[in-house]
Amino acid sequence: MHPTHRISYGRTRRRRSHHALRPTATVVCPNCGSNKLPHRACGACGYVRPGLKLRTSDEG
């Protein structure tokens, strides 16, 4: 590699500073108390919000 194409360590590390993994945010389901992803249906009980009914594939 030619010296004109060389990227310094500092420039490389500044570019990679945004590549760190962040912890997954979870909230407690108000229906069953298990952890779930925010704005998603609960994996344990299927709760989304009051009054909302989700159709499953086995329902007609």
For the chain, the structural domain boundaries read 22-48
Contact 54/48 with Cβ under 8 angstroms?
A: yes
Give 38's contacts (C-beta < 8 A, 6+ positions apart): 25, 26, 27
pLDDT digits (tens, 9 = 90+) for 3-58: 778 899 999 999 999 999 999 999 999 989 999 999 999 999 888 888 776 666 66
pTM of the model: 0.55
